[in-house]
């Protein structure tokens, strides 16, 4: 039934406007269709751009967090290494004191 309505409508247009009118309507339809396609493509491009910007923001935040965690980790490592160096120096000093004390005790026992 829809096909008959379409053919009837087309026949009425041809009868009312003639063949040049149909050609003009067809060209107008093609222009309208092209504008719709351009509008749809533009909307899709904008949507892809928004998705890309959202992805970029997520990646930027993720990378910023990773950099911050890396900096915190390096700072903790530096503090730990500083404490370890202090402990090693303290241990060496104590070893030197113990060695001196033992040498003094050995010397005292030899004399005594």
For the stretch 32-66, pLDDT in tens is: 899 999 999 999 999 999 999 999 999 999 999 99
Q: What is the pLDDT of residue 53?
A: 96
Indicate the pLDDT class of residue 76, thresholds 50, 70 and 90: very high
Q: What is the pTM of this model?
A: 0.51
Q: Which two tokens stand for residue 106?
A: 């050995």
Task: Please work out, in degrees rounded to the nearest 5, the angle formed at the alpha carbon of residue 24 by the alpha carbons of 23 and 25.
Answer: 90
Q: Which two tokens stand for residue 98?
A: 């113990």
Q: Which two tokens stand for residue 85?
A: 């160096």
Under 8 Å between Cβ of 14 and 22 = yes
The tokens 């303290």 sit on which residue?
A: 90
Indicate the pLDDT class of residue 22, thresholds 50, 70 and 90: confident
Q: Which two tokens stand for residue 13?
A: 């247009």
**By three-state DSSP, how is residue 1 classified?**
coil
Q: What is the pLDDT of residue 1?
A: 56
């Amino acid at each position: 039934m829809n096909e008959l309505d379409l053919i009837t409508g087309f026949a009425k247009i041809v009868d009312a406007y003639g063949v040049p009118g149909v050609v003009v309507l067809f060209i107008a339809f093609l222009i309208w269709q092209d504008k719709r396609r351009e509008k749809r493509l533009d909307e899709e491009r904008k949507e892809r751009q928004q998705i890309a910007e959202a992805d970029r923001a997520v990646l930027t935040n993720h990378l910023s967090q990773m950099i911050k965690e890396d900096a915190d980790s390096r700072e903790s490592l530096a503090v730990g290494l500083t404490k370890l160096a202090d402990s090693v120096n303290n241990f060496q000093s104590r070893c030197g004191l113990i060695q001196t004390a033992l040498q003094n005790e050995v010397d005292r026992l030899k004399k005594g």
